[in-house]
């Protein structure tokens, strides 16, 4: 009985001590956990702080990149050969021309958006979609897209600009790999192979934009800039000409107008600027050019030359051979076989405009592209029998004589003296 009372006396202090020890253990665990959370929060805040700093301080970005490169044991990555994102567009009766242009332009490295506008019969659009779907190379690579919900396009109105921006948005969404955007019509045709073009552009700054442009409006100031037009294709399902409304407007003072060719080679960076518009200039000018005669010949030109971060990237050329009347009209002269030597001598990458299946196209295929029987233009990627029926190594580039022609032209255009003298003037 005594032993039992003694045991009871010691049990109580022992229980109290155990309880206190457990309490202290839990307390220390919670404190440690909270300190860990605090430490993590500080780390997160530090990351946010430095992220904010780096977005507002270009020097910080460069220093961080420099530190990273110095501490890294890996050598810098070698930039791969460039890729192009194409828009090839057409209208009623252009199915065969567009298909021929596509096969002459095709390369597995590139991306292609095709558009037959709403004026073309549904049968033509369905046939184009069928051909793209059933072509074994296109199906294998998966880099040809057709705008199935066709847009109504008027060349002299803003709907052509809208269609071009639509294609740009599709290319940005479909692929992260292309470097330059090129817009062509079914009336255009390449004068060099894609291997020639890829080889030439491999040595260029990928921020360069090839846009034929000038601020000397001349007669265009009165006949294009001042009139206010409406493009029925913005709200109608049937194509009709633009119409003029009154009164005329004065020339803008908030920005400087530029004009030039509707055909261009745009850097991905500039395309992103036009589509995403982190600055309001692209949207403001898009609204202004909604009522401008022949807006495709002014919108991109005016955007790029009024954006300080891009105006120094402009090369004053569209890389096209185009023949005009002595007094230029709305459309250029149609090229034929007698123009072949002048086209070759120009060093241009593309020419326009051509009639469907004109003999001059056969001559270009045979003598410049090495293409025949409706096949793809041969390149380093081609394998199979017949040639180019299968895709080999898309990174294998085999430039030909065309590379010397286009490289000569581009070298002259981007030479420092000529480049700066002709930028946004």
Dump the DSSP string for 276-326: H-SSSHHHHHHHHGGGSTTGGGTHHHHHHHT-HHHHTTEES--SEEE---S
| C-beta of residue 235 within 8 angstroms of C-beta of residue 342 | no
In a domain, 285, yes or no: yes
Helix (H, G, I), strand (E, B) or coil at 61: helix
Distance CA 399, CA 100 (A): 21
Predicted TM-score (pTM) of the model is 0.82
Residues constituting the chain: 425
66 domain-assigned: no
> Does 2 reside within a domain?
no
What is the rounded CA–CA span in Å between residue 82 and residue 331?
32
In a domain, residue 21? The reply is no
Alpha carbon dihedral 37, 42, 43, 49, in 10-degree steps, equals 150
The pLDDT of residue 230 is 96
**Mean pLDDT for back-to-back runs of 10 residues, the chain (425 residues):** 43 48 45 37 30 34 35 51 98 98 98 97 97 97 96 93 98 96 98 98 97 96 95 91 95 97 97 94 97 96 98 98 80 94 98 96 97 94 94 97 98 92 93
Determine, yes or no, domain membership for 11: no
Residue 144: domain span:
84-421
- DSSP assignment letter at 262: S
Both tokens of 370, joined, read: 């090495």
- CA-to-CA dists, residue 353 to 68, 106, 215, 265, 296, angstroms: 51, 19, 25, 17, 17
End-to-end CA separation in angstroms for the chain = 113
Q: How many CB atoms within 10 Å of residue 103?
A: 19
Q: Report which of 302, 261, 268, 311 is spatially closest to residue 283, judged by C-alpha positions.
A: 302
Query: Could you tell me if 152 and 117 are in contact, meaning their C-beta atoms sit under 8 angstroms apart?
Result: yes
Region for 388 from its dihedrals, namely left if φ exceeds 0, alpha if ψ lies in -120 to 50, beta otherwise: left
What per-residue confidence (pLDDT) applies to 331?
80
Q: Give the pLDDT confidence score for residue 418 in this predicted structure.
A: 87
Q: 113-147 b/e with 16+ CB inside 10 Å = b?
A: bbbbbbbbeeebbeebeebbeebebbeebebbbbb
For 356-366, give one letter per residue: b (16+ CB within 10 A) or e: eebebbeebbe
Strands 84-90 vs 180-185: parallel, antiparallel or unpaired? parallel
The DSSP letter of residue 357 is T
At residue 154, the 3 state secondary structure works out as coil
Closest CA to 376 of 169, 140, 217: 140
Cis ω before 386 (30° cut-off from 0): yes
- Coil vs helix vs strand at 4: helix
Our count of domains for the chain comes to 1
Give residues with Cβ within 8 angstroms of 230, minimum separation 6.
242, 243, 245, 291
- Tell me if 58 is assigned to some domain: no
Angle at 167 between CA 166 and CA 173, to 5 degrees: 95
Residue 53's pLDDT is 29
The 265-267 sheet, strands edge to edge: 144-146, 111-116, 84-90, 180-185, 265-267, 209-210, 314-315
Q: Which of 319, 317, 326 is nearest to 213 (CA)?
A: 317
270 lies in some domain: yes
Cite the DSSP H helix spans in 57-135: 58-71, 95-105, 122-134
Count of C-beta atoms within a 10 Å radius of residue 400: 17
Decide: 209 and 135 in contact? Cβ < 8 Å: no
What is the Cα–Cα distance from 225 to 229, expressed in whole angstroms?
Answer: 10
Per the domain annotation, does 136 fall within a domain? yes
CA pair distance 269, 282, nearest whole angstrom: 13
């Amino acid at each position: 009985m005594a032993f039992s009372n003694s045991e009871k006396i010691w049990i109580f202090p022992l229980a109290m001590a155990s309880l206190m020890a457990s309490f202290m253990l839990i307390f220390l665990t919670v404190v440690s956990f909270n300190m860990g959370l605090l430490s993590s929060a500080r780390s997160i805040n530090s990351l946010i702080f430095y992220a904010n700093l780096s977005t507002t301080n270009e020097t910080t970005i460069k220093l961080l990149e420099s530190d990273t490169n110095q501490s890294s044991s890996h050598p810098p990555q070698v930039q791969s050969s460039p890729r192009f994102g194409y828009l090839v567009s057409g209208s009623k009766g252009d199915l065969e021309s567009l298909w021929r242009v596509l096969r002459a332009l095709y390369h597995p490295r590139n991306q292609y958006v095709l558009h037959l506008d709403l004026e073309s019969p549904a049968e033509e659009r369905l046939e184009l979609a069928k051909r793209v779907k059933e072509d074994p190379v296109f199906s294998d690579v998966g880099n040809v897209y057709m705008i199935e919900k066709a847009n109504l396009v008027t060349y002299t109105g803003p709907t052509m600009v809208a269609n071009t921006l639509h294609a740009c948005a599709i290319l940005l969404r479909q692929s992260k790999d292309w470097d330059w955007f090129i817009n062509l019509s079914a009336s255009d045709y390449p004068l060099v192979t894609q291997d020639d073009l890829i080889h030439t552009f491999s040595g260029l700054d990928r921020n360069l934009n090839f846009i034929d442009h000038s601020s000397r409006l001349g007669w265009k100031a009165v006949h294009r800039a001042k009139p206010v037009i409406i493009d029925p294709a913005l709200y109608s399902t049937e194509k009709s000409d633009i119409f003029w409304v009154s009164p005329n407007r004065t020339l803008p003072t908030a920005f400087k107008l530029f004009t030039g060719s509707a055909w261009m080679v745009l850097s991905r960076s500039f395309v992103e600027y036009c589509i995403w518009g982190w600055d309001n200039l692209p949207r403001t000018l898009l609204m202004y050019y909604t009522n401008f005669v022949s807006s495709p010949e002014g919108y991109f030109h005016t955007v790029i030359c009024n954006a300080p971060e891009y105006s120094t990237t402009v090369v004053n050329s569209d890389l096209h051979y185009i023949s005009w009347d002595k007094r230029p009209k709305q459309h250029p002269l149609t090229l034929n076989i007698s123009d072949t030597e002048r086209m070759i001598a120009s060093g241009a990458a593309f020419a326009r405009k051509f009639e469907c299946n004109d003999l001059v196209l056969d001559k270009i295929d045979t003598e410049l592209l090495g293409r025949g029987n409706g096949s793809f233009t041969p390149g380093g990627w081609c394998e199979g029998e017949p040639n180019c029926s299968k895709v080999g190594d898309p990174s294998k580039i085999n430039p030909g004589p065309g590379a010397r022609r286009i490289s000569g032209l581009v070298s002259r255009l981007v030479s420092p003296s000529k480049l700066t003298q002709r930028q946004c003037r």
